[in-house]
Structure 1
Amino acid sequence: MAELKEARVPDIGGSKDVPVIELLVKVGDAVKKDQGLVTLESDKATMEVPAPFAGIVRELKLKVGDEVAEGALVAMIEAIDATTTAAVAAPVAEKPAAPISAPATAPAVPAPVVVSAAASATPANVSSGTRSPPVAFAADGLMPDKVPYASPSVRVFARELGVDLAQLSGSERGGRISKEDVQNFVKKVIAGGAATSAGNGGGLNLLPWPQVDFAKFGAIELQPLSRIKKISGANLHRNWVSIPHVTQFNEADITEMEAFRKKLGEEQKDVKVTPLVFLIKAVVAALKKYPQFNASLDGDNLVLKKYFHIGIAVDTPDGLVVPVLRDCESKGLFELSSELAAISARAREKKLGPAEMQGGCFSISSLGGIGGTAFTPIINAPEVAILGVSKSLTKPVWNGSEFAPRLMLPLSLSYDHRVIDGAAAARFTAYLAQVLGDLRRLLV
């Protein structure tokens, strides 16, 4: 057996009766030079006693709760060369993470962790040898009353797993967070039993909203948000941060469609036929051809709907509402026109019932009567796509022999990239443009 050497408590600033709060190694463990052996905690700081040389721990002279001073014997270590230590320590280094059943799912745990300055100075070799992820520092989080109560080794352990210690409650004396507390938190997150910062603003770690006294810069007027804007604003924010939005843009040649619409208006003066009803029928045709757009996510399943209820965004004095026209596949242009006019009027008069805004499969937001060339509509969860329509514009279009004036309608399709990829979105908008350009396709 190689020579046994003593590892003792180094200079700790004259402190006496400092309690041992954590054992970082056990008998038989291979340690590297400067690797932590035990953690001490005085009234002023938490510190680790490092191994003065590489070797194998043959005997631990301390236990949790013991009180020590400078020079106290910590362990007896069989000194060996660094090469041998590294070879022996390789499997040992993975032991701290063993109790966690699924470490590969660590990205589901809150992302960056805010730690104290003491943790950032902890030697990297306390960990399993892998580099810790970058640390995000916030001034408020460094104040003494805001720093989570945990030892440096626990901070490093939590940082490697992406755990925000501020979310944990310590089970040790005085509320100190232990390694077991971190492991239990990770297990709960994996099992879906713990809230993470990803559920709070999508884990964005945003700065607080600025508080400004606007009145000191000039005259102001306070105008309370309407109830509709409060509700829709919260829904829109949730949808925007929770759904990976991508928007596909295209144009549809509606020259013939618009001529046909005007002719219908001349023949049927009792009902106003708007371009929107043609869009509804074209969208239904596209949803039938590409059913993944007529769907909703439910956990790991995609719910494909066999009905075609289309939500129509209606601009009201109090904000945006989205009533739903049902069974659009079985209704003609005149019936849809009458229903659209009636439900839009009820929306502006605040007479819509809750049932009239539920059950939508796909939404259309039309700004064609106002203006604009394109925009990015926000998906109306739990739907997976929404169509934005801007103002049509006459453009010169090459027909093979010459440029001819054509009425072009801008289309903006926002889709949930978890369900729909870019190629499918391009096909959807291309088919939609074909249908709008040749209404005979609605009969196919």
Structure 2
Amino acid sequence: MQIKTPDIGVEKATVAEILVKVGDHISVDDSIVLLESDKASVEVPSTTTGVVKSILIKEGDEVSEGTALVEIESVDAEEVSVKSEEKSAQTEVKVEEEAAVTEEKVAAPAPSNSSQTVEVKVPDIGVEKALVGEILVKVGDEIAVDDSIVVVESDKATVEVPSTVEGTVESIAVKEGDSVKEGVVLIKVKTSSASTSVASTQAKAESAPAVAPNKTEAPKDVAQAAGPVEIAVPDLGVDKASVSEILVSVGDRVEKDQSLVVVESDKASVEVPSTVSGTIKAIHVSANQEVKQGMPLVTIDGVADVQPSVQETKAQQSTQPVKAETKAVSGSEKVVEPQAHVSNSSDKLSKEQQAENAKVYAGPAVRKLARELGVLLAQVESSGPHERVVKEDVFAYVKQRLTAPQTSSSQAVAQVASGLPALPDFSAFGGGEIKAMTRLQQVSVPQLSLNNFIPQVTQFDLADITELEAWRGELKAGFKQQGISLTILAFIAKAVAFLLKEEPYFAGHLADDQKSVLLRNEIHMGIAVATPDGLTVPVLRNPDQKSIKQIAIELGELSKKARDKKLSPKDLQGANFTITSLGSIGGTAFTPLVNWPQVAILGISPATMQPVWNGQDFDPRLMLPLSLSYDHRVINGADAARFTHKLTKLLADIRNILL
């Protein structure tokens, strides 16, 4: 069995020290290697018991999550079997004598109430001393094995210390700011031996011939709850939202995590998944209905794959005979408790964003939470010691992002609307009918109204794309065989991204003080997509770092998600330049609106064949109209003309990008 590098909160780390050698006998949780990064020093523990067969890395190697470190040969099963048989032989006589008594105990097992207090101490954290940065539990809390209890930190490390026992926190021996070292008592935990007593009684019952097997075996699906399950609206971070789409119908068979409905607020579109597998019994909502947290959406008749909590498991053991699953380890019987079910959320950050997060001072649990929620830690205001970001900071940031834009948008609408008079009465002229705009149009009104405060100018130009279109025609068939639609927009996006590296002001933002410009480190390009509900602008990430093929693939994916209403809030955020294209709809030129807080937007009109003078006569050339709108407070007219001129040169011969 190979022991691999776990998630250590950074993309890469260096092997600082190898703590075992070939032939060593190690147990579960024994440290095997010490890994170091700029912000962490972590000892990687073994996940199994056995003998070190080979070491797959050496000191100084760079490793990442999933890299194989050492290979462990498990403990010889024969040795375990011999030890188990020895213990079995010693207990056979007692089992025969106590069979009658055991039968009564199995019928109504009474768990022992004995308990003990266990001290949880500071493990070897790779440094001589560290400070208690945060205490994650309080007296009276119920904790399980591996639950984090305190965060300790040094100049080079931030480590969450896990509990080695399960029980109730009886007392806390340290406080935030204390200096601790290996072996110092952190907390005292009161543990109960009830489950052990029950398991022991049940294990004896299995050996008693007088007891029928069906009295000691629990149903295999004891951790599953059958029957109707009601799926409700989860916490969306806003007071109200509306049901934009129902994805299932009565009688449909659904699997766990399958999307049921799409709910939308002003700033988010969320697919609500099923928590169970089963058949749709009833649908309690309709399209466009307003809903809020806790309201029932659908009822599913099926089986909920939910593991019981430790407390529920113990309660079941005290009221009914359940067969204990035991594992022979070095001649002793170890009860395997039902493990709490934990769902693995997929990461919502790109590798580049995770790399940025790695530079921020935060613990592993906070980094994991940030990945799951799609939060850039650099944007989060820290409240922990030494400017460390804690979980509360992340939650506060997410809540602020979900609620603040709605307030600011409504304020912007009020400001704009306040300067306009009410509509006149048209009843004398035939009247009219009120028809609601789509939700996408309604959400766009406040954003578009901000354009009234931008002094905008548009620069027009023509690009000769005759050769570029010919090359695209040669590539198109091969791309189509791969299922990729190669449009001229992929080439334009690549050329613009290249140009934005030379002209960073066009991808910047006017600062709040109106005296400086925020220049972005990365390029994230908004691509306007027309949908039946209106125009939406998903974001193409880092086009300057991608090939034209990669850009074409992602443009297709984003367009499909936009048309299918599958875009997440993250897909619409972070752009610092926008391209909007009329495609083949028609027109010769138009004036696109700058999308605040951006300072520039490029409009593309349909290309047409035009006569172009070559010095002797006119050549038919395919000319592409360009319309660059810009915020005149940040961009000068001459700079805008120079920008479009450079772009026409790149599109005329895209090989210039390689120079």
TM-score (norm 2): 0.36
Residue 202 to residue 406, structure 1, CA distance change in 2 (3 Å): farther
- 1:247 is aligned, of 440, 458, 476, to 458
- 1:51-62 aligned within 5 A: none
SS state at 2:648 partner: helix
1:225 pairs with 2:437: yes
> In structure 2, how many angstroms separate the alpha carbons of the residues matched to 1:200 and 1:341?
34
C-alpha distance after superposition, 1:365-392 (max 9, x if no partner): 0002211111111111111100001011
Deviation at 1:281, TM superposition (A): 0.6
> In structure 1, how many angstroms separate the alpha carbons of the residues matched to 2:534 and 2:552?
23
Q: Which amino acid aligns with 2:628?
A: L
- 1:332-371 aligned within 5 A: 332-371=547-586
| Structure 1, 265-274 or 278-287: larger mean CA deviation | 265-274
Kept in 2, the 8 Å contact 1:201–1:241? The answer is: no
Kept in 1, the 8 Å contact 2:413–2:446? The answer is: no
> In structure 1, how many angstroms separate the alpha carbons of the residues matched to 2:425 and 2:539?
40
Kept in 1, the 8 Å contact 2:506–2:599? The answer is: yes
> In structure 1, how many angstroms separate the alpha carbons of the residues matched to 2:414 and 2:611?
46
Residue 400 to residue 377, structure 1, CA distance change in 2 (3 Å): same
Deviation at 1:227, TM superposition (A): 1.2
Kept in 1, the 8 Å contact 2:413–2:449? The answer is: no
> In structure 2, how many angstroms separate the alpha carbons of the residues matched to 1:359 and 1:247?
23
- 1:319-398 aligned within 5 A: 319-398=534-613
Residue 344 to residue 204, structure 1, CA distance change in 2 (3 Å): closer
Kept in 2, the 8 Å contact 1:255–1:406? The answer is: yes
1:285 pairs with 2:491: no
Deviation at 1:254, TM superposition (A): 0.5
Deviation at 1:205, TM superposition (A): 8.0
Question: Comparing both structures, which one devotes a greater share of its residues to helix?
Answer: 1
> In structure 1, how many angstroms separate the alpha carbons of the residues matched to 2:420 and 2:453?
19
Kept in 2, the 8 Å contact 1:256–1:438? The answer is: yes
Query: Where do 5+ consecutive residues of structure 1 fail to align?
Result: 1-198
1:434 pairs with 2:641: no
Deviation at 1:212, TM superposition (A): 2.4
> In structure 1, how many angstroms separate the alpha carbons of the residues matched to 2:494 and 2:420?
45
Residue 356 to residue 219, structure 1, CA distance change in 2 (3 Å): same
Kept in 2, the 8 Å contact 1:253–1:407? The answer is: yes
Residue 422 to residue 397, structure 1, CA distance change in 2 (3 Å): same
> In structure 1, how many angstroms separate the alpha carbons of the residues matched to 2:561 and 2:464?
32
Query: Where do 5+ consecutive residues of structure 2 fail to align?
Result: 1-411
Residue 339 to residue 204, structure 1, CA distance change in 2 (3 Å): closer
Residue 212 to residue 413, structure 1, CA distance change in 2 (3 Å): same
- 1:127-206 aligned within 5 A: 206=419
Report 1 or 2 for greater relative contact order, CA contacts < 8 Å, sequence distance ≥ 6: 1
> In structure 2, how many angstroms separate the alpha carbons of the residues matched to 1:366 and 1:273?
15
Q: Which amino acid aligns with 1:274?
A: T
SS state at 1:267 partner: helix
Kept in 1, the 8 Å contact 2:603–2:627? The answer is: yes
Q: Which amino acid aligns with 2:465?
A: I
Kept in 1, the 8 Å contact 2:465–2:651? The answer is: yes
1:260 pairs with 2:471: yes
Deviation at 1:203, TM superposition (A): 8.7
- 1:235 is aligned, of 434, 440, 447, to 447
Residue 202 to residue 250, structure 1, CA distance change in 2 (3 Å): farther
SS state at 1:345 partner: helix
Deviation at 1:301, TM superposition (A): 2.4
| Structure 1, 358-367 or 201-210: larger mean CA deviation | 201-210
Show the counterpart of 1:20.
Answer: none
Question: Comparing both structures, which one devotes a greater share of its residues to strand?
Answer: 2
> In structure 2, how many angstroms separate the alpha carbons of the residues matched to 1:225 and 1:237?
16
> In structure 2, how many angstroms separate the alpha carbons of the residues matched to 1:333 and 1:282?
10
C-alpha distance after superposition, 1:84-105 (max 9, x if no partner): xxxxxxxxxxxxxxxxxxxxxx
Deviation at 1:200, TM superposition (A): 8.4
Kept in 2, the 8 Å contact 1:308–1:328? The answer is: yes
Deviation at 1:202, TM superposition (A): 7.3
C-alpha distance after superposition, 1:182-221 (max 9, x if no partner): xxxxxxxxxxxxxxxxx8887998451322235x534744
1:213 pairs with 2:461: no
Show the counterpart of 1:307.
Answer: 522
Residue 362 to residue 385, structure 1, CA distance change in 2 (3 Å): same
Show the counterpart of 2:630.
Answer: 415
C-alpha distance after superposition, 1:110-143 (max 9, x if no partner): xxxxxxxxxxxxxxxxxxxxxxxxxxxxxxxxxx
> In structure 2, how many angstroms separate the alpha carbons of the residues matched to 1:204 and 1:219?
23
| Structure 1, 415-424 or 267-276: larger mean CA deviation | 267-276
SS state at 1:229 partner: helix
SS state at 2:626 partner: strand
> In structure 2, how many angstroms separate the alpha carbons of the residues matched to 1:361 and 1:224?
31
Residue 370 to residue 218, structure 1, CA distance change in 2 (3 Å): same
Percent identical: 48
C-alpha distance after superposition, 1:300-349 (max 9, x if no partner): 32111121111000111111110000011111111111111111111111
Deviation at 1:243, TM superposition (A): 0.8
Kept in 1, the 8 Å contact 2:416–2:449? The answer is: no
Aligned length: 245
Kept in 2, the 8 Å contact 1:202–1:241? The answer is: no
Show the counterpart of 1:13.
Answer: none
Residue 259 to residue 242, structure 1, CA distance change in 2 (3 Å): same
- 1:54-133 aligned within 5 A: none
Q: CA RMSD in A?
A: 2.1
SS state at 1:342 partner: helix
Show the counterpart of 1:274.
Answer: 487
> In structure 2, how many angstroms separate the alpha carbons of the residues matched to 1:257 and 1:225?
40
Show the counterpart of 2:330.
Answer: none
TM-score (norm 1): 0.53
> In structure 2, how many angstroms separate the alpha carbons of the residues matched to 1:340 and 1:313?
10
Show the counterpart of 1:66.
Answer: none
Residue 219 to residue 204, structure 1, CA distance change in 2 (3 Å): closer
> In structure 2, how many angstroms separate the alpha carbons of the residues matched to 1:227 and 1:203?
19
Deviation at 1:290, TM superposition (A): 1.1
SS state at 1:268 partner: helix
SS state at 2:565 partner: coil
> In structure 2, how many angstroms separate the alpha carbons of the residues matched to 1:418 and 1:343?
32
Q: Which amino acid aligns with 2:446?
A: A
